[in-house]
Amino acid sequence: MSVYKNLKTFPVGGIHPEDHKLSAAKAIEFLKIPDIISIPVSQHLGAPAKPIVQINDRVKVGQVIAESGGYVSTNIHASASGIVSKIDNVMDASGYKRLAITIKVEGDDWFEGIELSPDIKKEIILSKEEIIAKLQKDGIVGLGGATFPIHVKLTPPKGKIADILLINGVECEPFLTSDHRLMIEKGEEILIGTQIIMQALGVSESLVGIESNKPDAIEHLSKLAKNYNGICIVPLKVQYPQGAEKQLIEALTSRQVPIGGLPIDVGVVVQNVGTAFAVYESIQKNKPLVERVVTVTGKNVQNPSNFLVRFGVPISNLIEAAGGLPNETGKIISGGPMMGKALNTPDVPVTKGTSGILLISEAESKRGEVLNCIRCAKCVGHCPLGLEPYLLMSLVEKGFYDQAQQEQILNCCECGSCAFTCPADRPLLDYIRLGKSIINQRLREKSPK
């Protein structure tokens, strides 16, 4: 099957969901900007940005329209040019109404100084500090799904030093292909972005992990990487959830992040390939983060595609462009089938965290009947973090939160492997999430702040 031998992967647990990379061969297409877009001011982890424009202001693409609301926060830029028509709450993918800036689109005027030519600029001229400041200014966040502002990750706390940068090109979620396409079409830019991040971190080694089901991306990047010092492409075994930070770190470096710790505690910083590309555009082209690649897919989708989409474009537009909503759609998911979030309406905007839109048929949307646990231990064997999901679920059910905490329920990364594999269709992860939120709530109440 695979041409690669002795592929690395993380050592414990994991599953093999069926692969459906329907849009893997579809080149990235630019999606037409609709007449009206709503740009949420909270598209990243941390404090929402604060709007600095007023109604009827004329804005250009790339112009800052909301300023960073704190250290863990970034700027938000206009992703289309036109007139600010509304600053009001709109429904976003979270299912809640939150503040967004609505723009009536006119033309496609970019802010001064942003370079739009496709010419590749290799030479990095900015210093470490300048790079980090610029990335914050340009609103760069982790595009792998967590949307954590990059400048925070690039500024390790005192006493902690990074010695290796990992670039996540795993894309282990079935169906999603946006990172895959980006690696094939923007390989050079991704590697330059990687070098920029290495420089900002002061590390001389970087590993790019890619699962072996993307041989074209591995081959392409390996060829390019020969010209870049310290960047090595590592093919990985296909094993979900390898794209999860902790699993990727273990697969590539055999290091384990201590419980309650961060990757930096073991000298590692992880960035996604999409982020590396955004870093390239910010530093080399002066282009803030206003768009991203989004996969639109599903077994019944007429034309599964990869679109380059401006933030704020409604998801319904993407579905339309991929051939429309199939009749038998039961679920619309933002993200992949394993960790994505079900939406209650497609009328929400694409944001920095939107990696894909997956349409699932009605038949496949329904869960099976919940049976008694038959103690088959599959959930235990497949948990990549060595947890005992059946036990955690029953502790939460009984309200034994202290015990659940002792069993490290908070370390669960919500990968869903346990629920995926349970033959009794037990809603393991639902209960684990519930337990986590109750325990976190209690911890917050207890903490002195």
Q: How far is the CB of 122 from another protein (least distance, A)?
A: 37
Please, which residue, 324 or 368, has the CB nearer to ligand SF4? 368
Q: What angle do CA 425, 14, 387 make, to 5 degrees?
A: 75
Binding mask 352-371 for another protein (x = CB under 8 A): ------x-x-x-xxxxx--x
422 binds another protein (CB under 8 A): yes
Cα 158 to Cα 154: distance, rounded to the nearest angstrom: 12
386 binds another protein (CB under 8 A): yes
| Residues in binding contact with ligand SF4, number by CB under 6 A | 28
340 binds another protein (CB under 8 A): yes
E-state strands within 218-319: 231-236, 268-272, 291-297, 305-310
Segment near another protein (CB under 8 A), from 199-207, 220-228, 377-385, 437-445? 377-385
Binding-site member from 215, 433, 438, 439 for another protein (CB under 8 A):
433
> Is the peptide bond prior to 384 cis by the omega test (within 30 degrees of 0)?
no
Binding-site member from 315, 379, 395, 404 for ligand SF4 (CB under 6 A):
379
Give kind and range of the element (H or E) at residue 179: helix 178-185
Nearest alpha carbon to residue 416 among 17, 10, 103: 17
Q: How far is the CB of 72 from ligand SF4 (least distance, A)?
A: 25
145 binds another protein (CB under 8 A): no
SS3 279: helix
Binding-site member from 134, 287, 331, 378 for ligand SF4 (CB under 6 A):
378
345 binds, among another protein, ligand SF4, none (CB under 5 to 8 A by kind): another protein
SS3 309: strand
| Residues in binding contact with another protein, number by CB under 8 A | 72
Please, which residue, 216 or 430, has the CB nearer to another protein? 430
Segment near another protein (CB under 8 A), from 23-31, 100-108, 183-191, 428-436? 428-436
Pairing label, strands 82-91, 58-59: antiparallel
389 binds ligand SF4 (CB under 6 A): yes
159 binds, among ligand SF4, another protein, none (CB under 5 to 8 A by kind): another protein
Q: What angle do CA 44, 119, 114 make, to 5 degrees?
A: 45
CA distance readout (Å), 84 to 64, 107, 171, 290, 327: 13, 14, 36, 16, 35
Binding-site member from 27, 161, 232, 377 for ligand SF4 (CB under 6 A):
377
- Token duo for residue 121: 């600029």
Binding mask 420-449 for ligand SF4 (x = CB under 6 A): -xxxx-x-xx--x-----------------
Strand partners, 50: 67
Q: Give how far the C-alpha of residue 257 lies from the chain's centroid of Cα atoms, to the nearest Å.
A: 20
Give residues with Cβ within 8 angstroms of 81, minimum separation 6. Answer: 58, 59, 60, 61, 103, 105, 106, 107, 108, 109, 110
Q: How far is the CB of 237 from ligand SF4 (least distance, A)?
A: 18
Site for ligand SF4 in 4-63 (CB under 6 A): none
Site for another protein in 165-184 (CB under 8 A): 174
Binding-site member from 31, 41, 191, 266 for another protein (CB under 8 A):
266
Binding-site member from 90, 154, 182, 383 for another protein (CB under 8 A):
383
Binding-site member from 100, 218, 383, 396 for ligand SF4 (CB under 6 A):
383
265 binds, among ligand SF4, another protein, none (CB under 5 to 8 A by kind): another protein
197 binds, among another protein, ligand SF4, none (CB under 5 to 8 A by kind): none
Nearest alpha carbon to residue 75 among 62, 86, 87: 62
Nearest alpha carbon to residue 229 among 247, 205, 252, 258: 205
Cα 284 to Cα 276: distance, rounded to the nearest angstrom: 12
Q: How far is the CB of 368 from another protein (least distance, A)?
A: 7
Cβ contact 263:244 at 8 Å:
no
Binding-site member from 145, 239, 418, 431 for ligand SF4 (CB under 6 A):
418
Nearest alpha carbon to residue 287 among 413, 111, 434: 111
Residues forming contacts to ligand SF4 in the complex (CB under 6 A) are 373-379, 383-385, 387, 389-390, 412-418, 421-424, 426, 428-429, 432
